[in-house]
Structure 1
Amino acid sequence: MAIFTSQTPMLKKEEVERNWYVIDAKGKVLGRLASLIAQRLRGKHRPDFTPHVDAGDFIVVINADKIKLTGHKLDQKIYWRHSGYMGGIKLTPAKKMLEQKPEEVLRLAVKRMLPKNRLGRKMLKKLKIYRGESHPHTAQKPKVLEI
């Protein structure tokens, strides 16, 4: 039986150092941007990634109203939710959703790329999305993340 001295480093939640990043979503494609954000929130960009620890960074997204959808998604994509009652389905086209709640479009795209458990919900809380250029997180001195 072999005994190995070097083991894979496993992060503990107390050892995690989180950074703040700001991303400008102006002219960016929704899915590509969402996958990059989900990767950063999960911490998969780090060399010491540990699946059971929330090691991701805080992400601030500005200009969420200027995000793009490719192809015919603007006309054909449907967001739906259900009240739980019979016939209680509510359908919203992507065009209307982008006009009314562009933050929700990006949040839903990122949410669906994260784990569907307590850890995923905790990761999603580190995502801050804003419609315009300004955001209230200047005190955290976020670094600009170029895509």
Structure 2
Amino acid sequence: MKSYLAKPLEVERKWFVVDVEGKVLGRAASQIAAILRGKHKPTFTPHVDTGDFVIVINADKIVLTGKKLDQKMLRHHSHYPGGLKEVPYRVALAKKPEFIFEEAVRRMLPTGPLGSQTLKKMIVYRGPEHKNEAQNPEVLVLKY
């Protein structure tokens, strides 16, 4: 018996819309990362992008557990001496919740060209409305 290896032209993609209001950031991000990679399909192939498109709404109503809102920092460095910038997640979540959610998902995907291609299939919206009605997305309910 031979193993099935998906070919990029044979992959069928679906569109899903996910409401993350009241969901925990890490749990929601890990489930969405699995859908973007295609791990929920029996035709999953590690070196081929077999995942589906995901529309995330209500990203501004995501929840962080414990004291992460005040203790966890969003960090980036300018590559100059003393160029470390730190912002608490409470401030970052108020200013740019879409970026916070995209970063959480991006860090759960593989690095390299396949991970970049996979991340482009996710669209994050701050509020409850989205502009992708033409794709007829199915509503997806996350497990936790």
Query: TM-score, normalising length from structure 1?
Result: 0.95
Alignment of 1:1-147 (within 5 A): 6-147=1-142
Supply the distance in 2 between the matched residues of 1:93 and 1:105 (Cα, whole angstroms). 11
Q: Secondary structure at the match of 2:123?
A: strand
In structure 2, stretches of 5+ residues that fail to align are none
The Cα shift of 1:7 comes to 0.5
How high is the sequence identity, in percent, across the aligned residues? 56
The Cα shift of 1:27 comes to 0.3
Q: Secondary structure at the match of 1:119?
A: helix
Supply the distance in 2 between the matched residues of 1:47 and 1:113 (Cα, whole angstroms). 21
Supply the distance in 2 between the matched residues of 1:12 and 1:92 (Cα, whole angstroms). 42
* Alignment root-mean-square deviation, CA: 0.5
In structure 1, stretches of 5+ residues that fail to align are 1-5
- Output one character per residue of 1:63-112: Cα deviation in whole Å (capped at 9) or x when no partner: 00000000110110001001111111111100001000001111000000
Runs of 4+ in 1 over 2 A off after TM superposition: none
Supply the distance in 1 between the matched residues of 2:67 and 2:42 (Cα, whole angstroms). 38
Instruction: Give the paired residue count.
Output: 142
The Cα shift of 1:48 comes to 1.2
